[in-house]
């Protein structure tokens, strides 16, 4: 039922949807816990169109869904944080490997990663220079390019007992374009988003140094170009959704957040959220708000629905029997403080 509801949402005219912008408050902070899921089995339809007022619907996915939980931690709490002096946060999915980041009012960038990525021991791959992921404010039409270099040397014996060391170097140019805005529906919800198209052009080289003679030899070189898309929204921390491609250029991995973010039709300012249950609902919801002075219900276009005509309030129980099935937003007001949340009526 929820899938059919979300599919119907994506068919509604997008003319009233709002265009958003992102700043540093929409990025992760130390202490955040970000649940995400990914699907690697579904034949995906592709990233969709670019430009304004777009609709993207990615709800028809397979049952082979992988859970990925990201923790945002302090640099000092990580085993090799002293190697990443420009970072002010780190992220990990397994408490063994870490990505390092710097967040400021101007940008969000990554300084590299640390972990046993090749099974040869811990590698500290410091990007030099850093790689910019966002420039603020991020708005529709904004674009930039950046470069980064990875240059790491690891023991070679784990790969070949005749090797002393192996060196891997990547030189990359990344082109970032905010090429669309509109409404995105994932298995978790519907969001106002900006879409980012990222094109990376990189060159790799691998060198090997045998035990004898101890001279470096070029093993291989390669160049490639990759494309990826991400959809970012207010309060999303990481991307609301990401799409990457296989070696043939076909959509292969779709990843989405399970954070609520700030849903369709809500203001961009930081909003206090209220808790309601059950959600999705059928006949009523309970609102965890003590005696609000006013409760308003909005439809998915942001139009206020007259509560006295559509529902009946009794304490913190809101009756919704008269409402059609769909997505709504509940707003409570108490002492001039407004709180909002999204509900789905099935």
Please enumerate in sequence order all residues whose Cβ is within 8 A of that of 270, keeping only pairs 6 or more positions apart, or say none.
25, 235
* Residue 210 pLDDT: 95
pLDDT per residue over 128-146, tens digit each? 999 999 999 999 999 999 9
* Residue 276 pLDDT: 76
* Residue 319 pLDDT: 80
* Residue 220 pLDDT: 97
* Residue 262 pLDDT: 60
What domains, with CATH codes, occur in the chain?
2-257 (no CATH), 272-345 (2.60.40.10)
**Would you say 5 and 346 are in contact if contact means Cβ atoms under 8 Å apart?**
yes
* Residue 250 pLDDT: 83
What count of other Cβ atoms lies within 10 Å of the Cβ of residue 273? 14
* Residue 270 pLDDT: 35
- Tokens standing for 218? 């070029």
Please enumerate in sequence order all residues whose Cβ is within 8 A of that of 81, keeping only pairs 6 or more positions apart, or say none.
74, 75, 87, 90, 98, 100
Please enumerate in sequence order all residues whose Cβ is within 8 A of that of 257, keeping only pairs 6 or more positions apart, or say none.
34, 35, 36, 186, 188, 236, 237, 238, 239, 240, 241
- Tokens standing for 261? 């973010």
pTM: 0.72
Tell me how far apart the alpha carbons of residues 7 and 135 are, in angstroms, rounded to a whole number.
33
What count of other Cβ atoms lies within 10 Å of the Cβ of residue 329? 20
Low-confidence spans in the chain with pLDDT less than 70:
1-18, 118-119, 260-274, 288-292, 300-303, 306-315, 334-340
| Residue that has been written with the tokens 């995105």 in this structure | 184
């Amino acid at each position: 039922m929820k899938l059919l509801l979300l599919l119907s949402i994506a068919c509604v005219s997008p003319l009233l949807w709002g265009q958003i912008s992102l700043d540093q408050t929409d990025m992760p902070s130390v202490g955040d816990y970000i649940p995400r899921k990914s699907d690697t089995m579904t034949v995906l339809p592709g990233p969709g169109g670019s430009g304004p007022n777009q609709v993207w619907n990615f709800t028809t996915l397979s049952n082979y869904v992988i859970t990925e939980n990201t923790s945002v931690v302090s640099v000092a709490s990580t085993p090799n944080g002293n190697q990443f002096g420009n970072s002010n946060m780190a992220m990990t999915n397994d408490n063994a490997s870490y990505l390092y980041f710097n967040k400021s009012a101007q940008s969000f960038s990554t300084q590299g990663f640390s972990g046993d990525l090749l099974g040869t021991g811990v590698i500290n791959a410091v990007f030099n220079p850093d790689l910019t992921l966002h420039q603020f404010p991020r708005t529709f039409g904004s674009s930039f390019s950046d470069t980064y270099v990875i240059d790491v040397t690891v023991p070679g014996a784990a790969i070949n007992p005749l090797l002393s060391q192996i060196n891997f170097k990547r030189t990359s140019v990344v082109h970032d374009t905010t090429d669309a805005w509109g409404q995105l529906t994932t298995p978790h919800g519907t969001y106002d988003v900006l879409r980012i198209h990222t094109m990376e052009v990189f060159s790799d080289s691998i060198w090997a140094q045998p035990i004898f003679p101890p001279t470096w030899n070029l093993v291989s070189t390669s160049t490639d170009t990759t494309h990826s898309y991400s959809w970012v929204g207010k309060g999303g921390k990481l991307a609301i959704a990401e799409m990457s491609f296989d070696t043939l250029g076909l959509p292969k991995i779709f990843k989405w957040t399970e954070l609520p973010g700030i849903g369709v039709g809500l203001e961009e300012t930081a909003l206090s959220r209220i808790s309601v249950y059950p959600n999705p609902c059928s006949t009523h919801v309970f609102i965890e708000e003590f005696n609000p002075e006013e409760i308003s219900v909005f439809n998915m276009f942001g139009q206020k629905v007259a509560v006295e005509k559509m529902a009946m309030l009794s304490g913190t129980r809101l009756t919704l029997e008269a409402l059609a099935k769909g997505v709504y937003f509940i707003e409570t007001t108490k002492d001039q403080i407004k709180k909002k949340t999204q509900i789905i009526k099935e």
